Amino acid sequence: MSVTWKATLAAASLAVSASFAHATELRLSHQWSNEDIRHKVAQIVADEVAAADVDLEIKIFGSKSLFKPREQYKPLSRGQLDMTVLPLSYAGGQQPAYNLTLMPGLVKNHDHAARLSDSPFMEALEAKMADDDVMVLVHGYLAGGFAGKDKCITKPADVEGLQTRAAGKAFEQMLAGAGASIASMASSEIYNAMQTGVLDAANTSSSSFVSYRIYEQVKCYTPAGDVALWFMYQPLLMNKSTFDGLTEAQQQALLAASEKAEAFYLEEAKKEDAASVDVFREAGVEIAEMTSEDFDAWRELAKETSYKAFLEEVADGQDLLDKALAVE
């Protein structure tokens, strides 16, 4: 065999090996630190898949090291990214229906959120994801609240005149309706914005309030309690074509890992709210409670702002809203 032919064979063998290695390594992107619950969900999936020994590795790129927080859904849908843990409302620009996954007062508590994830409402959203070549591996909702740099926020009148960050279009519309000025940004940018005086107030998840150390920048914290206005759907998503291209053993390992991660997500999400109160209190931050009357005032405002705008913008919005409201 000639040296040239041997070199050609060796090059071809290396190319095949490289292609095989690439095909069995999945890239997962998210915006949070390694201490955040959403990273832990991703890590469970990665660890369980590795333990299954099906020649599949998930490499996690956290802390927005691979893509900017709000710029992950599009590359995921195009197959440029394999997996992401993403607040689905971040993709509301591509699919306005996703804004319903961060609608004020739509979710009552964590168990209600779990029922929403296993309902015709979620099936309708998953059909829209499938059109974008995206699928859900792990369902999950997180609750959250408000934080004020100089004052407590429990009712609509409290945000009037404040520069406020809200996660998602629906909350921005509601807060604007209450007289707040809106500053749009990812939760990872809240700390610096408060530190530099860009923000007076913010709402986000209990987990993000802690993992981004917002307690260092605020005077008062209104957590998710008996009533929680803020619930946000933040699933682990995957490119559907990438999943379909895996072997059956790899698919089964991934699904089994995702089932375990989803159970963890639900139980830990319940603990996050109480844990965040302890962290803020220990940091010397005042804790405020939202009353049922406060909640009702926010929801009435949301109906006239967020709900109304959603129905005007989304062709099948009424059907989706009805499906969500039908879940007890």
**For each of the chain's 328 residues, which pLDDT tens digit applies?**
544 444 444 444 444 333 344 458 999 999 998 989 999 999 999 999 999 999 999 999 999 999 998 899 999 999 999 999 999 999 999 999 999 999 998 998 899 999 999 999 999 999 999 999 999 999 999 999 999 999 999 999 999 999 999 877 899 999 999 999 999 998 889 999 999 999 999 999 898 899 899 999 999 999 998 778 899 999 999 999 999 999 999 999 999 999 999 999 999 999 989 999 999 999 999 999 999 899 899 989 999 999 999 999 999 999 999 999 999 9
Contact predicate 28/137, CB 8 Å:
no
Judging by DSSP bridges, how do beta strands 163-165 and 201-205 pair with one another?
Answer: parallel
Locate 275 and state its tokens. 């844990």
Locate 254 and state its tokens. 């991934």
Q: How far apart are CA 236 and CA 106, in angstroms?
A: 21
**320 phi, psi to nearest 5 deg:** -65, -45
Beta bridge pairs of residue 203: 146
Contact predicate 154/289, CB 8 Å:
yes
pTM value surpassing 0.75 = yes
